[in-house]
Structure 1
Amino acid sequence: MTTDRLDQPRELRRTLRPHYDPEAFGRLSERIARFLGTARFLVYMTVFVALWVIWNAVAPQGWKFDPYPFIFLTLMLSLQASYAAPLILLAQNRQDDRDRIQYEQDREAAERNQAEIEYLTREIAGLRLAINDVATRDYLRAELGRLLEEIRETGQAAEPGRPLKGAGQAAEPARPLKGSGRDAER
C-alpha cells in the first residue's frame, strides 16, 4: 500500500519519449545553418539540381526517374527548405541569446568604467584644489629674485634665521603662499 506523501519527492519514471539534449541539438542546428549560408552549399545545390535536370532530360527513357515537370525534385527542394527555415531560426535565436548576454556584459563594463571616470574626475578636482595651495616653481623664483634684489639694494647678506635690515628697518616679511600658483604668475 503506497501513500502519496507531499513531503517527499516522487520517483521518476522512465518515459517512452526519447531523451535529447537541447544544447547539443542547438549546436547541431547552428552548424547546419552555418553551412547553409556558405557559397559551398550554393555550389553543391546548383551542381545537384543541374545534374538532376540534365540526367532526367538527356538520359534514355528507362533511366529517367523524374520526368520533365521534375515533381520529385520540387518535393526534395521543398523538403530541404522546410527543414532549413526552422534550423536557421533556431540558430538565430541562440545567437540572439548570446548577443543579449554580451550586451549585458558590455553594459556592466560601461557602468564600471563610468564609475571609475567619475572617481578619477573627483580625484583630479581634489588635486587641482591641493595644487593651488602649493608654492609653484615660478612663485619661488619670483620670491628668490625679490630677495636677491633686496640683498643687492641693502648690500648685506642675511644670516640664516635673521631678516634683512636696510636703512634701520626690518625687511618685509615674506608674503604668505595664498597667492601662489597661477595667480602669482600674473
Structure 2
Amino acid sequence: MALSSPTETARRALGKPLADLDEEERQVLIDIESGSISTRDVADAADETATLGEKLADRVAAVGGSWGFIIGFSVILLGWMLLNSDVLGYFGLAFDPYPYIFLNLMLSTLAAIQAPVIMMSQNRQASKDRLAASLDYPTNLRAEIDILRLHHKLDVTVIERLDSLEAKIDGLAKTLARS
C-alpha cells in the first residue's frame, strides 16, 4: 500500500503535518509524489552564480597550485639566474646581476597578487561546500522517505502473506481435525 499524498507522507514519514514542514521538506514530498528528480549538480549550481572574477580566481588557483606551475616556474627562475650570472655576465650585459633585485621585485609582486586571488578561490570553494551541504539535505531526506515507504510496503506485504499462511494453516488444521 503506497502512501498516497504529500500530506499522508508527511504524517507517516516525518511525523508532522504538511503545514509544519519547511519549504525544502515540502518540495521533497511534492517531488516524490510527482515522480520528478530533485537532485542538482553542485558544480553546475555554483557555476550559475559565479562572477567572472570568481571564475578567474578559480583558474589562477588551479594553475598556481599545480605541479606543472611549480616545475615550470622553477625552470624559469633557474634560467633567469643562470642567464644573469654566467651567460650575460660574461659579456657584461647582465640586466639583473646577483643578488637579482629585479627578480625579487617580480616575485614579491607575483606573491602579493597571487595570495589574495588564491584566498578568493578558497572562499568560493567554501561557498561550494555550503551549497553542496544544502543540496544534499533534500536528497538525503528523499532517500530516507523512500526507504521508509519501501519498509512500509514490505511490512504490508509480509503481514498479508502471514495472514494468508495463517488462514491456510487454520484450514489444514480443521481438515485434519475432521479426518
TM-score when normalising by structure 1: 0.59
* Cα distance in structure 1, aligned partners of 2:75 and 2:159: 76
Which of 135, 144, 161 is the matching residue for 1:114?
144
Q: Does 1:77 align with 2:104?
A: no
* Cα distance in structure 2, aligned partners of 1:71 and 1:122: 75
Offset, 1:24: 1.0
Alignment RMSD (CA, Å): 2.7
Which blocks of at least 5 consecutive residues in structure 2 are unaligned?
A: 1-49
Query: Residue 165 of structure 2 aligns to a residue in which SS?
Result: coil
Aligned to 2:131: 101
Write the letter of the residue equivalent to 2:57: S
Q: Deviations over 1:34-80 (max 9, x none)?
A: 11111111121111111111111112353111121111111111111
Offset, 1:133: 2.2
Between the two proteins, what is the percent identity of the paired residues? 28
Write the letter of the residue equivalent to 1:74: N
Offset, 1:102: 1.6
Which of 93, 97, 106 is the matching residue for 1:63?
93
Write the letter of the residue equivalent to 1:30: D
Offset, 1:140: 7.9
Structure with more helix by fraction: 2
1:135/1:43 CA distance change after superposition, 3 Å: closer
Q: Map residues 101-180 of structure 1 onto 2, 5 A cutoff.
A: 101-135=131-165, 139=169, 142=172, 146=176, 150=179
* Cα distance in structure 2, aligned partners of 1:137 and 1:50: 89
Aligned to 2:15: none
Q: Does 1:43 align with 2:56?
A: no
1:140/1:64 CA distance change after superposition, 3 Å: same
Aligned to 1:167: none
Query: Residue 93 of structure 2 aligns to a residue in which SS?
Result: coil
Query: Residue 95 of structure 2 aligns to a residue in which SS?
Result: coil
* Cα distance in structure 1, aligned partners of 2:54 and 2:126: 13
* Cα distance in structure 2, aligned partners of 1:63 and 1:137: 105
Aligned to 2:57: 29
TM-score when normalising by structure 2: 0.61
Q: Deviations over 1:63-116 (max 9, x none)?
A: 111121111111111111111111111111112222221211112111111122
Write the letter of the residue equivalent to 1:43: I
Greater relative contact order (CA < 8 Å, ≥ 6 in sequence):
2
